[in-house]
Amino acid sequence: MKNIIFVLLFFASSTIIAQNQFETTILNAETTEPLYGVTIGIQQLNIGTTTNEEGKAILRNIPNGDFMIVISYIGFETITLSKTFPLSEEQNNQEILLNPSEEQMETIIIESTRSSRTFQDIPTRVEFIAGEELAEKGNMKPGDIRMLLNESTGIQTQQTSATSYNSSIRIQGLDGKYTQLLRDGLPLYSGYSGGLSLMQIAPLDLKQVEVIKGASSTLYGGGAIAGLVNLISKTPEDEQELSFMANLTSALGLDLSGFYSEKFGKLGTTVFASYNLGTPYDPADNGLTAIPKFERFTLNPKLFVDLDENTDFNLGINFVSEDRLGGAIDYVENERGPGYFERNDTERFSTQFLGNHKFSDKTSLQLKNSISLFERQIEIPDYAFTGYQVSSFSEINLSTIQDKTEWIAGVNLWTENFDQEQGDPDQDLSFNNYTLGAFVQNIWDFKEKWTLETGLRGDYQSNYGFYLLPRFSLMFEPSDRLTFRAGGGMGYKTPSIFTEEVERLQFQNVLPIDMDDTKAERSLGLNLDGNYKWSITNDLNLSTNLLLFYTRINDPLVLNQSTESFYEFSQPEGYIDSKGIEANMRWSYHDLKLFIGYTLADVNQHYNGDTQQYPLVAQHRLNNVLMYEKHDNFWIGLEAYYYSEQQLTDGTTGDPYWILGVMTEKKLGEHFSLFLNFENILDTRQSSFDSVYTGTLDDPNFKDIYAPVDGFVINGGFKFKF
């Protein structure tokens, strides 16, 4: 008996002795700072651990033998080490450097804040759509960018016309006039040209889309009360790119897009061209076009020049021509006979210039300029309105970078001239103005793990005077997995006739704004958010973000019907406020990714002592996407979006609804891929549970559009990239 016990104790002690451990310290290869929460594991043994705040970790209970140790962290390249245990003292307790992954590096250069810092080091909260996500969303609506924005948490594209498809961008429930839409930091889609902008921008030549929510007027001037959307164009890379996309829809739509870029020594070029065709589509069989008939041509060439190692510039033009006709389906198909119609004929031409000169490694000068010409004719039965807009934007800024601080200061000039060429001469809406602004921004690493960004802008508007706009953003990073940001600022919006309400009226019977009787809308915005990344296991990762926001707009400009025939702008005593929550979760497990987003937007208007819910705001929204993706091979996604009840302008309440979709793409070889999407497979349409208009097809009275009108649509095509 004693011998048996001795043998058992011998084997047990041998087993215990054979239990080894692996000690290491994980550092960021670029900054040599320790990485907290890095996952270290041996899959064969089903054991693992994570690093502490000093980047140290100990993996215990490893038997003798050969094992593969996997070291992984979100946003960094995964390392696999082959080790034979027991290890020698020299092989154990070594420092290991992790490099940021190339895919991550491609998407962290943010341009909207004008800073040269990486995405992780910017105190301002910036959301971006880039890379594969941009390509996936671009497949669903290759002809315009509505889908890119509408499926993001806290953003909604609001359709402003039941027949022509015109849309605007709403951020956190606020009217589209409070969102600033930019192209490469230039306001090419402002004023009169903004009504059809979302419908006339194809996504194929976009590198990324950047969104800053909350008061952003300090960055680019008045108008960005709810936030700004900056569309960043592709630039020539070291390798030539030739891309082509063709798309067909079950609604008989056609989209053809092509993009080319190449470098030739010190010269480079990009050329984007597209042709988009839509046929009249009436899925509800109510006699009205849910999708209008349209034909659009787009051409956007750019030239890039490197004069020397310190000086470069690029110059581009953008041309868009479109004819769009919606209304009674019988009239639109034949373009004659009785029935309501709405015709939009547009010509858009703009130039872009961006120049950079480095005085040293730390100091640089930048010049920006754009000139935009836009003409649009709107025609409905017995009325036509035509306007011509000329606008320009010029900026010069100087930036300097030190070890712990970065400064940028500049001045800009914004001019706008609008001429009413056709319409009611007794209600001439023509105007001209200019805005001269000066700004200064600073980013300061004032303490370890703390970064402060501040900004101050002073604008003089020729019709409404001077405005001073402060702004701040504070970032605290207690660890690599946890980040807190807080920000706030002031904004303003000078009175403008270009609003969603006026678009719905086709500018008919709208009285000019009385500048002596109105003043600029002023705003104050605050936000607080936290981001947490957690590597739960070697394969399961979680990234979460929670945002709290509040925006108040004083002296809002409101369009009211003054008599039975005319509409005029006024500013009632009171304010509009938007407050709420945005919550996002992203789970990843092997080739599966799950995105869950929730938006609570409580938007109210407080006029003359009375409080009412702001119209056309879904107080609760859910964004859910489940994606299976084999990198550079195949992906398929399931989407589910929920919109709660919405208050309508006529005092009624719109029904809640769900939108479901399926999207997929398969690569065939290195350069060719096929895609197929089933959008709105439940065929959710406003006409299914509510009316789109009252009256007759000859004289309809349109209701608010708060749900899709086009219903279930299938689209598919192919992409070629060389």
Q: Give the pLDDT confidence of 205-237 residue by residue, as tens digits.
A: 888 888 999 888 888 888 889 999 999 999 998
pTM: 0.85
Instruction: Answer yes or no: is pLDDT of 8 > 50.
Output: no
Measured from the Cβ of residue 103, the count of other Cβ atoms closer than 10 Å reads 12
Average pLDDT of the chain to the nearest whole number: 88
Reading the block at residue 249, the tokens are 């829809």
Higher-pLDDT residue of 39, 622: 622
Nearest to 616 by CA among 520, 490, 492, 499: 499
Q: How confident is the model at residue 50 (pLDDT cuts 50, 70, 90)?
A: confident
Q: Which domains, ranges and CATH numbers included, belong to the chain?
A: 2-103 (2.60.40.1120), 255-278+289-721 (2.40.170.20)
* CA pair distance 151, 203, nearest whole angstrom: 15
Q: Give the pLDDT confidence of 514-557 residue by residue, as tens digits.
A: 998 999 999 999 999 999 988 787 678 899 999 999 999 999 99
Supply φ then ψ for residue 332, to 5 degrees.
-65, -40
* CA pair distance 708, 118, nearest whole angstrom: 38
Q: Give the pLDDT confidence of 64-112 residue by residue, as tens digits.
A: 888 888 888 877 888 888 888 888 877 788 889 988 764 444 445 677 7
Instruction: Answer yes or no: is pLDDT of 475 > 90.
Output: yes
Reading the block at residue 270, the tokens are 């990009």
Reading the block at residue 41, the tokens are 């594991």
Q: Give the pLDDT confidence of 621-646 residue by residue, as tens digits.
A: 999 999 998 877 889 999 999 999 99
The identity of residue 106, as a single letter, is E
Higher-pLDDT residue of 435, 609: 435
Percentage of residues in the chain having pLDDT higher than 90: 57
Residue 7's pLDDT is 43
Nearest to 373 by CA among 392, 355, 356, 394: 392
Reading the block at residue 379, the tokens are 């025609």
Higher-pLDDT residue of 407, 169: 407
Q: How confident is the model at residue 118 (pLDDT cuts 50, 70, 90)?
A: low
Q: Give the pLDDT confidence of 361-414 residue by residue, as tens digits.
A: 889 999 999 999 999 999 999 999 999 999 999 999 999 988 889 999 999 999
Burial pattern 380-415, b for ≥16 Cβ within 10 A else e, equals: beeeebbbbbebbbbbebebebeeeebebebebebb
Reading the block at residue 131, the tokens are 């890379």
Residue 690: strand, helix, or coil: coil
Cα 221 off chain centre by: 19
Residue 455's pLDDT is 93
Helix (H) or strand (E) holding 548: strand 540-554
Residue the block writes with tokens 């008939």:
293
